[in-house]
Structure 1
Amino acid sequence: MKEVGKRLKALRESIGISQVKMAETIGSTQSSVNRYENGQSTPPVELFRRYADYFDVSLDYIFARTDKPQGVTYEFKPKAAPEREEMRRFIEMCFDPQSPMNEKLKETLLRMMEGEA
């Protein structure tokens, strides 16, 4: 938890607020924030969420799984299941082939269904 504490401290210091102000912001105490930052204590999950929301960073960043504040250490790409192929055929049938937006709408819907959008 030392690395997590370093991230929490660096985030707080990056905007120049005190531990007291940070504690008020996330609904904790100054002594707790100090223990979190020094790796002596682990915040509850809800406080991690509050840190992430307040600083607009991902939990992956806070947990030092990535150095990119926006996070995402992997891309979720589900495998095509048989029911997905059935859904793909259904989508094909739903669009008017004469519509100029037919292909774009269909592709967008298929990407959304596959988790790519």
Structure 2
Amino acid sequence: MNLRIRDLREDKDWNQTQVAEYLNMSQSGYSKYETGENDVPVSVLCALADFYHTSVDYLLGRTNNPEPYEPIPK
């Protein structure tokens, strides 16, 4: 699967270590998500969507609209 997480990170001029720290994981673990070596867990996809202010569908390439979805009221 071709995720957009590397492109989004590079567009923000962030390095893998910065994103990995946000996710509370190692840089090498995060790198494996970007390269596709490891599948990204749903919880991490949700955290990345929040981090980049977009939707999981956008991260997954299922839409070209980067706008986040309206949150579900609690």
Shorter-chain TM-score: which interval?
A: 0.7 to 0.9
Q: Where does structure 1 lack aligned partners over 5 or more consecutive residues?
A: 73-117
Of 15, 21, 26, the match for 2:23: 26
Q: TM-score, normalised by structure 1?
A: 0.55
How many residues of Structure 1 are paired with residues of Structure 2 in the alignment? 69
Q: Larger Cα Rg: Structure 1 or Structure 2? A: 1
5 Å-filtered alignment, 1:8-23, equals 8-23=5-20
Q: 1:26 Cα shift?
A: 1.4
2:65 corresponding residue in structure 1: 68
Partner Cα distance (1:23, 1:47) in 2: 10
The amino acid that maps onto 1:23 is A
- Pairwise CA distance, 1:71: 5.8
- Asked which structure has the greater RCO (Cα within 8 Å, sep 6+), the reply is 2
Counterpart pick for 2:39 among 39, 42, 51: 42
Identity %: 33
Q: What are the superposed Cα offsets for residues 28-85 of structure 1, whole Å, 9 maximum, x if unpaired?
A: 210111111111111211110110001000111011001111267xxxxxxxxxxxxx
Matched residue, 1:82: none
Deviant stretches of 4+, over 4 Å: none
Q: Please give the TM-score of this superposition, normalised by the length of structure 2.
A: 0.85
- Return 5+ residue gaps in structure 2 as ranges: 70-74
Greater helix share, 1 or 2? 1
